[in-house]
A and B are shown apart, each in its own frame.
Chain A
């Protein structure tokens, strides 16, 4: 197949897949949190309430989108789109399964295998923060403004930690391409333990914590802290514009979970057996299973933790996570150097 059409097809499939994942994800979260809270959760629309998200989304589409009189309308309208686009773009680089060989050609199960994927991810997630900052600022309202100030503070505290957490991965796997990072995690230690990057435990923890901040989820959901800032940056948004923010938030949740799996939990690696088609399907299954496990951690934390204060959040980022990451980077550097070049005196 022609390169362009192949890419177009992949993009189409990826988006279809992504939106379906989000539909299920919102439902899963609501059901799970409900279980943890001694409730039932949505169970009316469709089988076990699975179509609830679709119904909510449709409802939002038919709602009036209000333009606040004091809003900077251009930016106000652009912000939700700006939130959604980076979220979608990040998904394009995630390998969701092993490459499939049909005939002579091999197809990667990711839209594009960038050789600078890690940097691309960091860049895109930085852009996503602009959406929140601009949304809050352009609403012309005070609570959203405070929310956007918080978003900015949160970004400078956590984006750094997020990036630093990935440096050991790059050093260890000696690549910045996600497909190669996953491929590098294919072997085993001592023939038993899978050789996942989770051996870089401090990085894993820092990445996960920064991931909470990155997705603006509890306990770091300060930018939309309902009890303090009413709705935070999206207080003034209504109708489909709000739905876009909502969509972006859940796509981000999936992205961060999937990237956690890619960077630290061995990507799509897992026991593969059986006939050819199963060998192609099982990696996808393993990948989704691991991602679901990480998502469960996110939901679990949301159900059980109170929110941090934003000065505590910044303190935690700058005084704990970043120093920890820096020290850990040095340790990994020495270890990788020793493994590659041997002891300096030998």
Chain B
């Protein structure tokens, strides 16, 4: 055989082994798309409806809260932090204020802590009810949206009754919670924080929430089509979930019963009874069911807390001008969506030197490229929705 023959042979072998490839289509999903929960953009490389790869593009909602915090006083920052994850505004306030209190060495009064606990759990119910309603909508079922949001409004009314704000309570103060309006020095000793009849209203609303959960059980969870769309779709194994830093219901649905309310509580969670809900398989259906049961648990916690709440002052004795001594701390709490933390470095003075926000949705979103590989476009919507992120929380 001559060299040329050998070369020809090689070439023919090469030619045979090359498979014909059809170039994929680049589908630009978002930033304006009905199911990206705001301004998330996904650059998807698709083959028909099969996704080859996905690249999330974030930052369209970047508001620079970490940088803004450096030029705001500690008191002013509370207004910013409850706008990070706006569907659970109160829950993202608490870790921040606890961090500041730790740096200052202030212990908030008992009653203030219980109020924080109740409002955190109400925020959890409100946040989960948004998911309960929007997720079926993403799968094409329109009715659960209206029913769940109707009852969510009752919960927001409760939050509004105490704090004056439905979405952005801005209710935490360093050393406790906001005392009643116009109270001044006198009010620190008296509890006029909760409006009259609020506890009774809370109890009846929680009953309503239990009823809503039962409705969702039959309307959504038991629906055959819903099962067909979610069971076995978007499975996240436990080890993957931990690798990508998932937390909250997304992690618990994968079979890791990890809940910061049990692990490192900074509110009186040890004094109430509740179960950490977890599931086995980590598919979209489990993520839905875990959140649904968490609503029930949260409602139970609220009912217990309403019975146990002690009377007493609302704010600890703190200086009028909040100055934080030099130091640094990291405080994390169980936000409805998962681990939410603040790393604050103080150089002394009224403003933090640097504040890092560990936002839940950012980490939860990071698994998207891995989990969406090889899925269909309808499943993209199902999987993305099941992670329950808020774009404000992703971009901060």
Give the nearest-CB partner of A39 in chain B. Answer: B146
Q: Please tell me if B219 contacts chain A, counting CB pairs below 8 Å.
A: yes
What 16 additional pairs, Cβ within 8 angstroms, besides A37-B146, A227-B34, A306-B229? A37-B147, A38-B150, A146-B49, A149-B49, A219-B140, A228-B380, A303-B142, A305-B140, A306-B139, A306-B140, A306-B141, A307-B225, A307-B378, A308-B229, A310-B49, A310-B378
Within 8 A of A (CB), among B350-385: 376-381
Chain A residues positioned under 8 Å from B34 (CB to CB): 226-227, 230
Bound Cα distance from A305 to B220, whole angstroms: 9
> How big is the B interface, by class?
20 to 34
Chain B residues positioned under 8 Å from A309 (CB to CB): 228-229, 376, 378-379
Binding site for B on A (CB under 8 A): 33, 36-39, 142-143, 146, 149-150, 218-219, 221-222, 225-230, 302-312
Give the nearest-CB partner of A226 in chain B. Answer: B34
Q: Are B142 and A37 in contact (CB-based, < 8 A)? A: yes
Q: Are A306 and B226 in contact (CB-based, < 8 A)? A: yes
Q: Please tell me if B136 contacts chain A, counting CB pairs below 8 Å.
A: yes
Q: Are A311 and B376 in contact (CB-based, < 8 A)? A: yes
Q: Please tell me if B329 contacts chain A, counting CB pairs below 8 Å.
A: no
Q: Please tell me if B33 contacts chain A, counting CB pairs below 8 Å.
A: yes
User: What distance in Å separates the Cβ of B144 from its nearest Cβ neighbour in chain A?
Assistant: 9
Bound Cα distance from A14 to B142, whole angstroms: 34
Q: Please tell me if B48 contacts chain A, counting CB pairs below 8 Å.
A: yes
User: What distance in Å separates the Cβ of B326 from its nearest Cβ neighbour in chain A?
Assistant: 51
Question: What are 16 A-to-B residue pairs whose CB atoms are below 8 Å?
Answer: A33-B142, A38-B147, A38-B150, A149-B49, A221-B140, A228-B377, A228-B380, A228-B381, A230-B33, A230-B34, A304-B219, A306-B136, A306-B226, A307-B229, A308-B228, A309-B229
Give the nearest-CB partner of B33 in chain A. Answer: A230
Q: Are B139 and A227 in contact (CB-based, < 8 A)? A: yes
Q: Are A218 and B140 in contact (CB-based, < 8 A)? A: yes
User: What distance in Å separates the Cβ of A124 from its nearest Cβ neighbour in chain B?
Assistant: 27
Q: Please tell me if B309 contacts chain A, counting CB pairs below 8 Å.
A: no
Q: With contacts defined as CB atoms under 8 Å apart, how many contacts are there between chain A and chain B in the complex?
A: 82
Q: Please tell me if B143 contacts chain A, counting CB pairs below 8 Å.
A: yes
Q: Do A227 and B25 contact each other (CB < 8 Å), given the known contacts A305-B225, A309-B378?
A: no
Bound Cα distance from A221 to B225, whole angstroms: 13
Bound Cα distance from A303 to B137, whole angstroms: 11
Which among B28, B33, B136, B143 has the greatest number of chain A C-beta atoms within 10 A? B143
Q: Are A142 and B27 in contact (CB-based, < 8 A)? A: yes
Bound Cα distance from A304 to B220, whole angstroms: 9
Q: Please tell me if B163 contacts chain A, counting CB pairs below 8 Å.
A: no
Chain A residues positioned under 8 Å from B146 (CB to CB): 37-39
Majority secondary structure, B binding face:
helix
Give the nearest-CB partner of A219 in chain B. Answer: B225
Q: Are A225 and B142 in contact (CB-based, < 8 A)? A: no
Within 8 A of A (CB), among B239-285: none
Q: Are B378 and A304 in contact (CB-based, < 8 A)? A: no
The 4 A-B pairs at the shortest CB distance, nearest first, are namely A307-B140, A306-B139, A37-B146, A306-B141
Q: Please tell me if B346 contacts chain A, counting CB pairs below 8 Å.
A: no
Within 8 A of A (CB), among B1-60: 25, 27-28, 33-35, 48-49
Q: Are A312 and B228 in contact (CB-based, < 8 A)? A: yes
Q: Are B143 and A36 in contact (CB-based, < 8 A)? A: yes
Q: Are A303 and B143 in contact (CB-based, < 8 A)? A: yes
User: What distance in Å separates the Cβ of A38 from its nearest Cβ neighbour in chain B?
Assistant: 5
Q: Please tell me if B76 contacts chain A, counting CB pairs below 8 Å.
A: no
Which among A149, A218, A227 has the greatest number of chain B C-beta atoms within 10 A? A227
Which among A38, A39, A228, A306 has the greatest number of chain B C-beta atoms within 10 A? A306
Q: Please tell me if B204 contacts chain A, counting CB pairs below 8 Å.
A: no
Chain B 132-164 near chain A by CB (<8 Å), digits 1 or 0: 000011111111011100100000000000000
Bound Cα distance from A150 to B48, whole angstroms: 10
User: What distance in Å separates the Cβ of A133 from its nearest Cβ neighbour in chain B?
Assistant: 15
Chain B residues positioned under 8 Å from A302 (CB to CB): 142
Q: Please tell me if B223 contacts chain A, counting CB pairs below 8 Å.
A: yes
Chain B residues positioned under 8 Å from A222 (CB to CB): 378
Give the nearest-CB partner of A34 in chain B. Answer: B146
Residue in contact with A225 in the complex, picked from B140, B141, B223, B225, CB distance below 8 Å: B140
Chain A residues positioned under 8 Å from B150 (CB to CB): 38
Bound Cα distance from A310 to B219, whole angstroms: 22
Chain A residues positioned under 8 Å from B35 (CB to CB): 227-228
User: What distance in Å separates the Cβ of B142 from its nearest Cβ neighbour in chain A?
Assistant: 7
Give the nearest-CB partner of A227 in chain B. Answer: B35
Bound Cα distance from A311 to B25, whole angstroms: 20
